[in-house]
A and B are shown apart, each in its own frame.
Chain A
């Protein structure tokens, strides 16, 4: 089972460059999320989606955009990268319901902006 797959795993960007991180899940989950993880800060929610065609802002959305054109994919875009966006990015998915609502995470994308 693939679960949640993130592309790429590593990337170095120059300040001002743009890029898109791709997240794909094969579990038919409704909800998808993008988090960033920084030392001492834990996981912080950037944007999330509760279904195909929907997106919403999380805790730290500035400087990022997202799209969910297909249920299985959730894209995170950086239009003009800044050194403050150096971080490890995690995508996750979950299925809403009254039972177990665990989130499944990808392996992460380590992004460095120089």
Chain B
């Protein structure tokens, strides 16, 4: 069966360091991979999208890589700040904007 796995353990990191989150998938051939941020009591908010033919995407302090051979995406937050503390979700999509499937999310806690 199709599976999307993110580390369920919270990631505690010191301010200023780089946080790296992993999203692994099996039995899936996504065309797009997206990352979202979710704060407690709020809906997810879109951060980045990377296509299957792209290796890397950057947006400000965020970087996403996509390795379709390893079936893995890495999400990096560089120079992390306490305001980056949240849960980060990866989502896969086989077609443009249709039926996003989400991983369970990884909670990040950035300590000052």
Contact = CB atoms under 8 A, between A and B. Distances in A.
Interface of A: 4, 31, 33, 35, 40-45, 48, 50, 58-59, 90, 92, 94-98, 100-108
A17 B10 CA distance: 37
B89 interface: yes
Contacts, number: 68
B27 interface: no
A69 B96 CA distance: 23
Interface size band for B: 20 to 34
Contacts of B93: 101
Contact of A94 (B45, B89, B97): B97
B43 A90 contact: yes
A95 B97 contact: yes
B46 A104 contact: yes
Contact of A33 (B32, B49, B100, B105): B100
Nearest to B101: A45
Contacts of B41: 108
Given A41-B104, A43-B102, A96 B42 contact: no
Contacts of A106: 43
A61 to B, nearest CB: 13
Contacts of A40: 8, 104
A106 B32 CA distance: 22
Which 4 pairs of residues, A with B, have the shortest CB-CB distance?
A105-B43, A101-B97, A102-B46, A42-B104
Interface in B23-58: 32, 34, 41-46, 49
A102 B34 contact: yes
B61 interface: no
Interface in B79-98: 89, 91, 93, 95-98
A102 to B, nearest CB: 4
Given A105-B45, A106-B43, A108-B43, A31 B34 contact: no
